[in-house]
């Protein structure tokens, strides 16, 4: 058991960058973390970290040990999950990370139905605009769109979504409807506040791909804030169809410049660790999500 504690302390220290932060995050004292790692280094007879004034840096031996330690932790998590494989025993906490807008508009509406079907299961739904690899911190599933970084994770395409340039009828009545992409430069447009391909407003003009360098009136960390300002008549936005599909269907938002659209859609991926035996709690969520997406909720 002490060997496990030493390995866990090592992973925590690597994750948080120093003993103090690792201790705070896990309800321990810095001296406890330090002692566990010192025992681990003494047992292995190698130094795993270079101790700086504020931060830890992995040694070459530490980097090699990190790979093995992660494999051991994944194997232990898989062993624990096998108990769920018995009938009616899908249980435990399912930790999911996805885009805020996907969670709000494509998961939360049917989540009560899913939880009712699996009463032994709880869900920890974490959100953020960009994909982050937190699987070594207990994450089970990530759902994200666009280009993903190369990794050993399994990324299964579960759908795709177009990005739609749109505005409210009230805004268009007041400011006019642009008939050419270049006219966007004279309109109130909004974008994301972080570096993202989603900020590229691309169109096809005379057979060529053109990027319109809009000058956003404001930028936002979340797509829902862009949606809110567009619904309020504040201007033009470009958002994912899975996010605003209902608004388009019901006329709250109007698609613009469709004759200039580039006919491509962005893939949406379900991401999980590359385990030989997929945890039942991950499998039932994956199957439930795929069933819901087969209904084409945003088309």
pLDDT band at 277 (very low <50, low <70, confident <90, very high): low
The residue from 50, 67, 82 where one domain ends is 82
Q: Residue 196 falls within a domain, yes or no?
A: yes
> Token digits for 167?
């505005």
Domain at 14, CATH number: 1.10.10.10
Alpha carbon distance 10, 244 (integer Å): 44
Q: What is the pLDDT of residue 80?
A: 64
- Mean pLDDT within 158-170: 94
The parent domain of residue 46 ranges over: 2-82
Nearest to 191 by CA among 127, 239, 130: 239
With a cut of 90, say whether residue 81 has pLDDT above it. no
Query: Cβ of 271: how many Cβ atoms within 10 Å?
Result: 20
pTM: 0.66
The answer to whether residues 57 and 200 belong to one domain is no
Alpha carbon distance 84, 272 (integer Å): 18
Q: Residue 195 falls within a domain, yes or no?
A: yes
Burial degree of 53 (CB within 10 A; 0-12, 13-18, 19+): exposed
The residue from 61, 82, 103 where one domain ends is 82
pLDDT band at 297 (very low <50, low <70, confident <90, very high): confident
Q: Residue 108 falls within a domain, yes or no?
A: yes
pLDDT band at 43 (very low <50, low <70, confident <90, very high): very high
- Strand boundaries in 193-246, DSSP class E: 201-205, 208-212, 218-220, 237-240
Alpha carbon distance 278, 92 (integer Å): 14
Q: Residue 299 falls within a domain, yes or no?
A: no
Place of tokens 């008549």: 233
For 285, phi then psi, to 5°, come to -70, -45
pLDDT band at 275 (very low <50, low <70, confident <90, very high): low
Domain at 143, CATH number: 3.40.190.10
User: Which residues, at least 6 apart from 30, have a Cβ–Cβ distance to it below 8 Å?
Assistant: 19, 20, 22, 23
Q: What is the CA radius of gyration of the chain?
A: 24
Alpha carbon distance 209, 232 (integer Å): 31
User: Which residues, at least 6 apart from 76, have a Cβ–Cβ distance to it below 8 Å?
Assistant: none
Question: What is the number of structural domains in the chain?
Answer: 3
Q: What is the pLDDT of residue 87?
A: 43
Nearest to 267 by CA among 248, 236, 237, 241: 241
The answer to whether residues 151 and 168 belong to one domain is no
pLDDT band at 214 (very low <50, low <70, confident <90, very high): very high
The answer to whether residues 168 and 256 belong to one domain is yes
Of the chain, the percentage scoring pLDDT greater than 70 comes to 94
Cβ atoms 210, 204 nearer than 8 A: yes
The answer to whether residues 213 and 75 belong to one domain is no
- What tens digit of pLDDT does each residue of 217-249 get? 999 988 999 999 999 999 999 999 999 999 999
């Amino acid at each position: 058991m002490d060997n496990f504690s030493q390995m866990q302390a090592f992973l925590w220290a690597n994750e948080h960058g120093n003993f103090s932060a690792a201790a705070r995050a896990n309800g321990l004292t810095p001296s406890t973390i330090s002692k566990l790692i010192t025992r681990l280094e003494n047992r292995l007879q190698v130094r795993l970290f270079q101790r700086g004034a504020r931060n830890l840096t992995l040694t070459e031996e530490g980097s090699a040990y990190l790979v093995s330690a992660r494999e051991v932790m994944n194997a232990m998590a898989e062993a624990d999950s096998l108990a769920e494989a018995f009938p009616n025993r899908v249980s435990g906490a399912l930790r999911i990370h996805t885009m805020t807008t996907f969670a709000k508009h494509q998961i939360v509406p049917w989540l009560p139905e899913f939880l009712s079907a699996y009463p032994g299961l709880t869900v920890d739904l974490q959100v953020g605009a960009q994909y982050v690899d937190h699987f070594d911190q207990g994450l089970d599933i990530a759902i994200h769109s666009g280009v993903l970084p190369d990794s050993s994770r399994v990324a299964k395409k579960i759908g795709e979504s177009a990005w739609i340039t749109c505005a409210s009828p009230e805004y268009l009545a007041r400011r006019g409807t642009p008939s050419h992409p270049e006219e966007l430069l004279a309109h109130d447009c909004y974008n994301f506040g972080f570096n993202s391909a989603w900020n590229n407003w691309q169109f096809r003009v005379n057979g060529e791909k053109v990027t319109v360098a809009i000058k956003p009136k404001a930028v936002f960390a979340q797509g829902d804030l862009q949606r809110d300002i567009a619904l309020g008549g504040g201007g033009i936005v470009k958002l994912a169809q899975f996010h605003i599909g209902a608004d388009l269907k019901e006329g709250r938002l109007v698609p613009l410049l469709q004759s200039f659209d580039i006919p491509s859609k962005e893939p949406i991926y379900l991401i999980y660790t590359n385990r030989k035996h997929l945890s039942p709690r991950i499998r039932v969520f994956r199957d439930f999500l795929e069933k819901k997406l087969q209904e084409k909720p945003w088309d």
